[in-house]
Amino acid sequence: MDEFYKETLYKLETAIKELEIEFDCPIQQIEAVMSNIVKCLSDVKKYVLKRGFKNTEEEIDFFKYQKPSIVSKLIYYNAIYKIETKKPYGAKPYKKYLNSELQKLKRFFDNNLDFYKYYRTKNNYLDTKYFMRGKHDIKLSLDTFYFEADHRFSTSHDYKVAKIIANDLIHVYLEDQLNCNNHNNLSDSASLSWTGSKTALTELIYALHYQGVFDNGNIDIRIIAKHFETIFNIDLGDFYHTYLELKNRKVNRTKFLDYLRDGLIKKMDEQDDK
């Protein structure tokens, strides 16, 4: 089971990274990612139903760790899809909207505090009830979802583990969006949009980063890229992959920077001639 799971998860995560590069539109990207995750879960389910488990430990391990790690991705991307497609226009309404989404996460946490403690402290004394099929205990705060699920491929709490993992990721996403929203004090009407190529902006970002002009060079390139994305209203996607393409150019690896330099000198010369 371990070998099959690791190979399946690796293929899924590789596919997700490739889709992040392929699509410029985050909505289309998420749709494609979710389709891949659903197919992955279907394949895993077929494998489990056909093979079964060697022993109790293997079954618990699958439903406590392995299945939730895949399902959590589906919950996460589905949540981000809803957030992105329903977000309101304007800085203040968007901030209010993000905070309301954070409150939803807090309510789930408050309503499942005992299980959070059990899971995060790595307890196992209830694992046979939580993570074995057909061993559910109705007194252990079961979700309605469980009674509608396929009990051949579900336990009473494997989905709840996936929800915990996903909510942690969703929380980070919402906090990032709030920070960007708070940091950008420009009004919507005064915001700037980058109309050059993503490759050009990536080249500029790396040049500035390697010169240490931000926080004396003591800042992660991903944070710098995130600020540029926010300020200039652009999604750079896998900017590191773009940088690797720049490095692998055989001719003129700093095309955009050279263009900026030449253009500025030309403008200065024209102004001197007047």
Let me know: does 127 contact 64? Beta carbons within 8 Å.
Answer: yes
State the DSSP code for 190: G
State the DSSP code for 88: P
Q: What is the pLDDT of residues 225-244, one digit of tens each?
A: 988 988 888 899 888 888 88
- Together in a domain, 172 and 207: no
Q: In the structure, what pLDDT confidence band is assigned to residue 207 with cuts at 50, 70 and 90?
A: very high
Q: What is the pLDDT of residues 37-75, one digit of tens each?
A: 999 999 999 999 999 999 999 999 999 999 999 999 999
**Last residue of one domain, picked from the residues 138, 154, 186:** 186
- Together in a domain, 36 and 127: yes
> Which of 128, 130, 137 shows the shortest CA–CA distance to 164?
130
- Look at the chain and report how many structural domains it folds into: 2
Q: What is the pTM of this model?
A: 0.65
Nearest-angstrom CA–CA distance, 13 and 183: 31
- Together in a domain, 132 and 90: yes
- Together in a domain, 78 and 203: no
Nearest-angstrom CA–CA distance, 193 and 30: 23
- Together in a domain, 181 and 212: no
State the DSSP code for 87: P
**Last residue of one domain, picked from the residues 133, 154, 186:** 186
- Together in a domain, 269 and 158: no
State the DSSP code for 103: H
Let me know: does 147 contact 167? Beta carbons within 8 Å.
Answer: no
Nearest-angstrom CA–CA distance, 198 and 203: 9
- Together in a domain, 124 and 222: no
Taking 80 as the threshold, does the pLDDT of residue 140 lie above it? no
Nearest-angstrom CA–CA distance, 5 and 264: 55
Helices (H), the chain: 2-22, 26-51, 56-61, 67-86, 91-111, 113-120, 127-130, 144-148, 158-183, 198-210, 221-231, 239-247, 255-273
CB under 8 A, 24+ apart: contacts of 236-242: 236/198, 236/201, 236/202, 237/20, 237/21, 237/23, 237/24, 237/198, 238/17, 238/20, 238/21, 239/198, 239/202, 239/205, 241/21, 242/198, 242/199, 242/202
Nearest-angstrom CA–CA distance, 117 and 109: 10
Query: What integer is the mean pLDDT of 73-95?
Result: 90
- Together in a domain, 113 and 163: yes
Dihedral, CA of residue 29, residue 35, residue 40 and residue 41, to nearest 10: 120
Rounded to the nearest integer, the mean pLDDT of the chain is 88
- Together in a domain, 39 and 174: yes
Taking 70 as the threshold, does the pLDDT of residue 190 lie above it? no
| Residues of the domain holding 211 | 192-273
Paired tokens of 122: 């790595």
**Last residue of one domain, picked from the residues 152, 186, 220:** 186
Q: In the structure, what pLDDT confidence band is assigned to residue 189 with cuts at 50, 70 and 90?
A: very low
Percentage of residues in the chain with pLDDT exceeding 70?
A: 95
Q: In the structure, what pLDDT confidence band is assigned to residue 186 with cuts at 50, 70 and 90?
A: very low
According to the model, what pLDDT value does residue 135 have?
85
According to the model, what pLDDT value does residue 147 have?
82
- Together in a domain, 179 and 210: no
Amino acid, single-letter form, for residue 165:
I
- Together in a domain, 176 and 240: no
Taking 70 as the threshold, does the pLDDT of residue 184 lie above it? no
Nearest-angstrom CA–CA distance, 28 and 21: 12
Query: What integer is the mean pLDDT of 110-130?
Result: 92
> Which of 256, 201, 260, 257 shows the shortest CA–CA distance to 230?
201
- Together in a domain, 170 and 206: no
